[in-house]
């Protein structure tokens, strides 16, 4: 992985075509590792979450102290509505957090009392 960028820092990357993003990442890597990066490079891929039509971004970004202050309330069900998503987990911003929250909500719903 050559670049993992978020917030306003993504703007300069988002304005590039995929090939230009990859070339830019290689150029940055060569500053640290030398020109050998070009010799060993086989292929690359780039993904912009802000340009992905089904997400409108990548993940939430808490401000300082916000996560500590709000987290106890974020995953709590409200009546029959249960909340899942990376932002409701202990690993916000990561796919792992989304999976954790999905498992948590599945357990919550499975453990609900049954009325027959």
Going from N- to C-terminal start, the domains of the chain cover 7-51, 66-110
Based on the number of CB atoms within 10 Å of its own CB, is 62 exposed (0-12), middle (13-18) or buried (19 or more)?
middle
The predicted structure's pLDDT at residue 44: 93
Determine the 3-state secondary structure of 78 from DSSP: strand
- Spatial neighbors of 47 by CB under 8 A, at least 6 apart, are none
**Mind listing the pLDDT tens digit of every residue in the chain (116 residues)?**
777 777 788 888 888 999 999 999 999 999 999 999 999 999 999 988 777 787 766 677 788 899 899 999 999 999 999 999 999 998 888 889 999 999 999 999 999 887 77
Q: How much is the pLDDT for 20? A: 94
pLDDT at site 57:
63
| pLDDT for residue 58 | 65
Q: Which two tokens mark 57? A: 């971004």
pTM: 0.56
In CATH, which of 3.40.50.1860, 2.160.10.10, 1.20.1250.20, 1.10.10.1620 is domain 66-110? 1.10.10.1620
């Amino acid at each position: 992985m050559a670049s993992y960028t978020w917030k306003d820092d993504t703007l300069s990357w988002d304005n590039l075509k995929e090939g230009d993003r990859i070339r830019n990442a290689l150029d940055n890597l060569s500053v640290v590792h030398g020109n050998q990066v070009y010799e060993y490079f086989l292929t690359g891929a780039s993904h912009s979450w802000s340009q992905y039509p089904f997400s409108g971004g990548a993940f939430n970004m808490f401000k300082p102290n916000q996560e500590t202050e709000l987290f106890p309330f974020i995953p709590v069900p409200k009546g029959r509505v249960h909340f899942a998503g990376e932002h409701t987990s202990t690993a916000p911003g990561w796919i792992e957090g989304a999976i954790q929250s999905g498992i948590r909500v599945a357990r919550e719903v499975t453990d609900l009392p049954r009325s027959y």
